Amino acid sequence: MMGIKGYFDRVTSIAPLVFFRVCFGLMLMFSIVRFWANGWIHSLYIEPSHHFSFYGFEFIAPPGQYTYILFALCGLSACMVALGLFYRVASVLLFLSFTYIELMDKSTYLNHYYFISLVCLLMIFLPANRSFSLDVLRNKRLEAGLIPNWNIDALKLMLGIVYVFAGLAKVNSDWLLHAMPLKIWLPARNDMPLIGPLFNYEATAYIFSWIGCIYDLSIPFLLLNKRSRPFAYFTVITFHVLTSLLFPIGMFPLIMIVAALVFFPARVHQHIISRLQSLAGRPKNITEDRSIYRNPALVRWIFISFFAVQLLFPLRYLAYPGELFWTEEGYRFSWRVMLMEKAGYAQFTVKDKTGKRTVVNNTEFLTPLQEKMMSTQPDMILQYAHILRDHYADKGFVDPEVYVDSYVALNGRLGKTLVSPAVNLSAQTESFKPKNWIKPFNDDIKGF
């Protein structure tokens, strides 16, 4: 048995970490370029007249036209991370700029962006520039061939947490017993070549649901095990390529396919790096460098607390009454991916004591994406109600009252009222407390 101290002292080759750094930086750069090229900076952050900030982060908002500079900064720091140039500064900048972007509007929230933010945070504390980097080229003394093994385990753990929680989230009656929402999503792709006709069969949705759940729960362990690793990685590729063909999930499949490489032993990474180095005319073997890097003592504790939070945070939904899928209290930042087909309709009425009354035209305030997200998520409905309250107060309404007529359908159930239509939302405040103005779901989704 290896003791805890022994575990933290064990060293290993830095190759997997530096290879991860390069891939991660390049992927983020590509991600930013793709985002820019699709015109999303404008349509998601500049065009909308209002933004849905995160509770506690209301000071974070898109800086108008400067949003382009923010993205440029993020892309540039990603590039510097990939190159290992001014790594400390670059990694901090990358974390801050990327996280700032993600916090600007919750209608663009995606779990894999959250994953990237967290990895960026970890990368600040990892010695990923100590080899195969421009920093080493500038300053030979930085170079280290060996690092504490737990540095690499931390990345594996992060990936493992994502997969296992995503898998646990699928252990629920909608997913496993009713094959929802795949039963709805798959027939929509029945015109795909070759596999399309399969999606006409309900059984396919069940098989995909079960495989998806088993895949998520088991893949980190299969990747850890030397014997199952090649098979597991093959599954990773198949699974993520398939999901990217089926669903519009952007960069996520690529990120996971590349990130899972970290599970491979150092010699694989070393091999790739050597090839790259010989391409650049500087063949060198990282593992030949026997100098050891040791993290500052504080870093170990930062990581331990980080992972303690990571293990607990996705479980915070347990503290709320009501059905998680319905109220979405504790839904974000919990690795709940592709679990719901949720559609809604929300029509707001603003009135005041003096008899003024208006039915709100949502397009005056929100983009189609924002409206779609808002209409199914209670916290966004409340935020929007406050936007309306303030807007109509400026327009001469005296203490405007805001009411919503909402109708939401979840995973094939018929729609029903999400928010109590009798509650004046302008008088409700956001908090971490349960929102008692959400109407009960009156159904039971069993499981996690």
Residue (97 or 362) nearer to another protein, CB: 362
Q: CB 324 → another protein: shortest distance, Å?
A: 19
If one asks whether residue 179 binds another protein (CB under 8 A), the answer comes out as: yes
If one asks whether residue 214 binds another protein (CB under 8 A), the answer comes out as: yes
For another protein, which residue of 275, 357, 395, 433 counts as binding (CB under 8 A)?
Answer: 357
Q: CB 190 → another protein: shortest distance, Å?
A: 6
Dist CA 42 CA 138 (whole Å): 38
Phi, psi angle pair for 344, to nearest 5°:
-150, 175
Q: CB 419 → another protein: shortest distance, Å?
A: 14
Dist CA 259 CA 250 (whole Å): 15
Q: Is the peptide bond before 181 cis (omega within 30 degrees of 0)?
A: yes
Q: CB 5 → another protein: shortest distance, Å?
A: 34
Residue 50: strand, helix, or coil: coil
Dist CA 235 CA 390 (whole Å): 51
Q: How many degrees, rounded to 5, is the angle at CA 185 between CA 179 and CA 188?
A: 135
If one asks whether residue 288 binds another protein (CB under 8 A), the answer comes out as: no
**Residue in the structure block whose two tokens are 């974000």:** 332
**Cβ neighbours for 81, distance < 8 A, ≥ 6 positions apart:** 21, 24, 25, 28, 87, 90, 91, 94, 123, 128
Residues 190-209, mask of contacts with another protein (x by CB under 8 A): xx-----x--xxxx-xxx-x
Size of the site for another protein (CB under 8 A): 50
End-to-end CA distance of the chain: 34
Residues of this chain, 312-351, that bind another protein according to CB under 8 A: 341-345, 347
Q: Could you tell me the two tokens for 70? A: 């923010």
If one asks whether residue 237 binds another protein (CB under 8 A), the answer comes out as: no
If one asks whether residue 366 binds another protein (CB under 8 A), the answer comes out as: yes
| DSSP-derived secondary structure letter, 283 | -
**Cβ neighbours for 200, distance < 8 A, ≥ 6 positions apart:** 187, 190
For another protein, which residue of 8, 54, 114, 210 counts as binding (CB under 8 A)?
Answer: 210
Residue (136 or 222) nearer to another protein, CB: 222
Q: CB 264 → another protein: shortest distance, Å?
A: 20
For another protein, which residue of 250, 407, 420, 428 counts as binding (CB under 8 A)?
Answer: 407
Number of Cα atoms under 13 Å in the Cβ half of residue 384: 31
Binding segment toward another protein, per CB under 8 A, in 50-58, 75-83, 210-218, 273-281: 210-218
Residue (268 or 369) nearer to another protein, CB: 369
For another protein, which residue of 279, 414, 422, 429 counts as binding (CB under 8 A)?
Answer: 414
For another protein, which residue of 11, 332, 413, 421 counts as binding (CB under 8 A)?
Answer: 413
Q: CB 330 → another protein: shortest distance, Å?
A: 23
Q: Are 54 and 106 in contact, with CB atoms under 8 Å apart?
A: yes
Q: Return the number of other C-beta atoms located less than 10 Å from residue 355's C-beta.
A: 6
Dist CA 65 CA 42 (whole Å): 9
Phi, psi angle pair for 114, to nearest 5°:
-60, -45
| DSSP-derived secondary structure letter, 58 | T
Q: CB 431 → another protein: shortest distance, Å?
A: 28
Residue type, 11: V
Residue (190 or 310) nearer to another protein, CB: 190
If one asks whether residue 188 binds another protein (CB under 8 A), the answer comes out as: yes
| DSSP-derived secondary structure letter, 383 | H
For another protein, which residue of 3, 194, 363, 394 counts as binding (CB under 8 A)?
Answer: 363
Residue (201 or 301) nearer to another protein, CB: 201
For another protein, which residue of 26, 108, 153, 187 counts as binding (CB under 8 A)?
Answer: 187
DSSP annotation string for 194-217: TTGGGGGSHHHHHHHHHHHHHHHH
If one asks whether residue 401 binds another protein (CB under 8 A), the answer comes out as: no
Residue (20 or 163) nearer to another protein, CB: 163
Dist CA 150 CA 132 (whole Å): 20
Residue (81 or 246) nearer to another protein, CB: 246
Residue (9 or 405) nearer to another protein, CB: 405
If one asks whether residue 82 binds another protein (CB under 8 A), the answer comes out as: no
Q: CB 357 → another protein: shortest distance, Å?
A: 5
Q: Are 330 and 162 in contact, with CB atoms under 8 Å apart?
A: no
- Nearest-Å Rg of the Cα atoms of the chain is 24
If one asks whether residue 394 binds another protein (CB under 8 A), the answer comes out as: no
Dist CA 350 CA 365 (whole Å): 14
**Contact residues for another protein (CB under 8 A)?**
177, 179, 184-185, 187-191, 197, 200-203, 205-207, 209-211, 214, 218, 228, 248, 341-345, 347, 356-364, 366, 368, 371-372, 407-409, 412-415
